[in-house]
Amino acid sequence: MQIETKLPAVGTTIFTVMSQLAIEHKAVNLGQGFPDFDPPQRLQDALARAMREGRNQYAPMTGIPRLREQIAQKTERLYGRRVSADTEVTVTSGATEAIFAAVACSVRAGEEVIVLDPCYDSYQPAIDLQGARAVHVPLRLSDFAVDWQRVRDAVTPRTRMIIVNTPHNPSGAVFSAADLDTLAELAQTHNLWVLSDEVYEHIVYDAAQHQSVLRHAALAERSFVISSFGKTFHCTGWKLGYCVASKTLTAEFRKVHQYLTFCSFQPAQWAFAEMLEHAPGHYLELPVFYQAKRDRFRHMLTHTRLVALPVPGGYFQLVDYSAIRDVDDLNFCDWLVREAGVAAIPLSPFYESPPDAHLVRLCFAKNEATLEAAVERLCRL
């Protein structure tokens, strides 16, 4: 028997491909977006303590109450939005699971979901598996801002949801308060759900304020807001995230969540709850921590032939490689890892219709030694 694939266009993700090539060629891996430094020691100690205390069985399906309460308190403290820990916060096995559950519970076969290219590669499969259609609207290539008129033009009677991402992966672009106002007007006018991917919420630079949709009352009522502990606490392998949504949306979200993973790693939930309660300075100081890395990395890149684009948020740096090779980004990344010993991520897999641009993504969430080793090799190009 041969199974008929539901995802004919899907193969191995570019992140896996480039990380494997980095291993094979002993390259410095600035491709896949994970830190190569440890989580805070207090978090590690809290995790070990939770295991020693016997918190090793199933967690409640929605997440342990203490963690949900801390998420609710953080949400009100940062964004002015009071949410119920019991009925509006759900802990998930990473942001990717939350994205899938949000789409699956609210989008039906034949409907459409607007995504903004370049976009994270999990959005389209989640939409496809519902029998729905992803409608791709490109961001402006100059600054990766949203062209809201193009978004309006893409709306049809079948449009059910729009997915937004701020700070944006891969560009680092961030929403303004005006973007939220425009998104709210669009969503209300056309009765759309909003999925807001905010996994880099605490990594916004130059004293700017993260514009979460939770700041906007009209948006908060119709949005699934998703974040990631792994990005915030340097432990992407722990795969723990959460979704904040209204009581009505959360009830539907949990119906899907309980049959995807049911619950998530309990010891980590206790550890994150402790960090949120007793060490809020960690996430509050994250912009300064990563801005120092961003600025140092950008300075080092001035000694190469790569041209660095602005980075308002997140921990990725887009670079233009036009001065080095006149090839597409897939070929450039393959050549770069094999010949130069540095792994990067091409931009084209983030698009339905890639633009004619010579851009690749580098991750600077790395130790100084890693960044220095990579730039030393890039300087030879």
Q: Tens digits of per-residue pLDDT, 103-150? A: 999 999 999 999 999 999 999 999 999 999 999 999 999 999 999 999
Q: Which residues contact 292 (CB under 8 A, 6 or more apart)?
A: none
The second-level CATH assignment, the architecture, of 57-278 is: 3-Layer(aba) Sandwich (3.40)
Give the sign of the dihedral formed by CA 23, CA 25, CA 30, CA 35.
Answer: positive
Beta-strand pair 359-363/345-346: antiparallel
Q: Where are the domains of the chain?
A: 14-39+284-378, 57-278
Greater model confidence, 88 or 18: 88
User: What's residue 174's pLDDT?
Assistant: 98
Q: What gap in Å lies between CA 268 and CA 151, rounded to an integer? A: 39
Q: What gap in Å lies between CA 274 and CA 92, rounded to an integer? A: 18
Give the confidence band of 1 by pLDDT, cuts at 50, 70, 90. confident
Question: 374, 367, 361, 250: which is closest to 300 by C-alpha?
Answer: 374
Same fold, 14-39+284-378 and 57-278: no
User: What's residue 213's pLDDT?
Assistant: 98
pLDDT over 90, % of the chain? 96
User: What's residue 11's pLDDT?
Assistant: 86
Residue pair 163/113 in contact by the 8 Å Cβ criterion: yes
Q: What gap in Å lies between CA 361 and CA 171, rounded to an integer? A: 8
pLDDT over 70, % of the chain? 100
User: What's residue 30's pLDDT?
Assistant: 97
Q: What gap in Å lies between CA 163 and CA 153, rounded to an integer? A: 16
Q: Is the pLDDT of residue 182 over 90?
A: yes
Segment 241-251 shows an average pLDDT of: 98
Q: Which element (helix H / strand E) includes 298?
A: helix 286-301
pLDDT tens readout for residues 275-301: 999 999 999 999 999 999 999 999 999
| Residue 61 DSSP one-character state | T
Beta strand segments in the chain, E:
28-29, 89-92, 112-117, 133-138, 159-165, 193-197, 223-228, 241-245, 307-308, 316-320, 342-343, 345-346, 359-363
Give the confidence band of 68 by pLDDT, cuts at 50, 70, 90. very high
Task: Please give the CATH topology (third level) of the domain spanning 14-39+284-378.
Answer: Aspartate Aminotransferase, domain 1 (3.90.1150)
Segment 50-66 shows an average pLDDT of: 98
Segment 55-79 shows an average pLDDT of: 98
Q: Is the pLDDT of residue 32 over 90?
A: no
pLDDT tens readout for residues 150-180: 999 999 999 999 999 999 999 999 999 999 9
Burial 39-76 (b: 16+ CB within 10 A, else e): beeebeebbeebeeeebeeebeebbbebbbbbbbbbbe
User: What's residue 12's pLDDT?
Assistant: 87
Segment 83-92 shows an average pLDDT of: 98
User: What's residue 284's pLDDT?
Assistant: 97
DSSP states along 144-190: ----HHHHHHH--TTEEEEEEESS-TTT-----HHHHHHHHHHHHHH
> Could you tell me the pTM of the whole model?
0.97
Q: Is-cis flag, bond preceding 118, omega within 30? A: yes
Q: Angle at the Cα of 167 (from 162 to 168), degrees rounded to 5?
A: 65
Tokens of 258: 């309980």
Segment 24-40 shows an average pLDDT of: 94
Question: 78, 362, 310, 111: which is closest to 210 by C-alpha?
Answer: 78
